[in-house]
Every structure is written in structure tokens, then in C-alpha cells.
Structure 1
Amino acid sequence: MNLSNKQKQYLKGEAHHLKPLVMIGANGLTEGVMAEIENALTYHELIKVKVSAEDRETKKLICEAIIRESGATQIQLIGSILTLFKPSKEQKINLPKA
């Protein structure tokens, strides 16, 4: 999904107060963690994921895999917190026009 800068800014504001719903630790990105991310995206549309990786390259690869597998759009990545958006059928978040 392609979002305009205005829409991304809006989603960043909406996500500001959110806490990470899914945390990826020492075991890395497993099928169970991916399923939890999918469930959270379906229910909330906008989520934060905390990726605890030892180096930047590993963290980057994990984030890319999450985005690819979930089909979500990356809103931002600050430190170890990845913010994702994937609209559900009910569309709980009304995005501004592009």
C-alpha cells in the first residue's frame, strides 16, 4: 500500500502513544511471532514491534522480513521500535486524503 507523506505523518501521530504489542527477543522471528504480528495487525491496524537484535544489520533483516511476510506498510523505525500499518476490512483508522 502506498501512503502519502501526509498519511504517514498522521499515522505517526496516532502511533505516538502506543506501546509495542509484539517483542522479538533472542529466538528471533519465529512462526509464532509472525502469527502474533498478523493477529495484532488484523485487530489494531497500527502496531509497534520491538526488535531486540545485537547488530543493526540483523535488526534491518528482521524488519524487512516482517514487512514482507505481513504485507504491512512501515511507518517508521526508531531505534528498536518498528511501527507498522495494515488496513483491515473494517478500517478502524480513517486516513486523511492523499
Structure 2
Amino acid sequence: MLTGKQKRFLRAEAHHLTPVFQVGKGGVNGEMIKSIREVLEVRELIKVRILDNCEEDKNDVAKALATGARAELVQLIGLTVVLYKESRENKKIVLPKAAK
């Protein structure tokens, strides 16, 4: 679970990123989840764009992506989802320590 400080840090890191995936009319599917997991292992932090023609609610899409990819939902702003998952082999992002 990410703290508020860690989420702020990750939002700042994600600001310059461009979306890597798009969720369209077909919604979230298994193949997309599998691909997102693989990309998260390499990049740790990604953006996913929900297209206007997506028939599902944006909050449901964000939750489905985070749950399916076993990632943390950092932010849902407009139609852009930011996901974070710590990489096992390609760790690049060092999160600020959680306050005790």
C-alpha cells in the first residue's frame, strides 16, 4: 500500500510519461492485463489512456487494471490511469520512506 507521500512522488514521476496502452470499446481483457504486467516489470510506472468510446465506467476500468496487473493505482485523472508496480529485476524507482 502506498502512502500519500509516495503517491505524490509517483504522480510527479509520471507527469512526463505518455500513455503506453489504450482501453477502448472492448474494455479490459486478459491479453491487455498480461501485456501491462510485462511492461510494468520493465518500467515500474506507466500511464494507460481510457478512450472516449470505452463503454465501462472509468473507475471500474482503473480498478480492473490495477487488480489484474497486481499493481498500485497511483492516480486516475480525467481518462488517464497511472499504475505502479515495483519491479523484481529492473528496479529503477526509489520511493520515499513511509513516515512512522
Same fold? TM cut 0.5: yes
Equivalent in the alignment of 1:59: 58
Equivalent in the alignment of 1:35: 34
Q: Deviations over 1:31-52 (max 9, x none)?
A: 2211111111111000001112
Q: Hey, which bits of structure 1, 4+ residues long, moved more than 6 A? A: none
Q: Where is the helix percentage greater, Structure 1 or Structure 2?
A: 1
Query: What TM-score, normalized to structure 2?
Result: 0.86
Segments of 5+ residues of structure 1 without an aligned counterpart are: none
Verify the 8 A CA contact 2:27 2:56 in the aligned structure 1. Answer: no
> Alignment RMSD, CA only?
1.8
Separation in structure 2 between the aligned mates of residue 4 and residue 64 of structure 1, nearest angstrom: 18
Q: 1:6-25 residue pairs with structure 2 within 5 A?
A: 6-25=5-24
Segments of 5+ residues of structure 2 without an aligned counterpart are: none
Query: What TM-score, normalized to structure 1?
Result: 0.88
- 1:30 partner amino acid: N
What is the aligned-residue identity percentage?
39
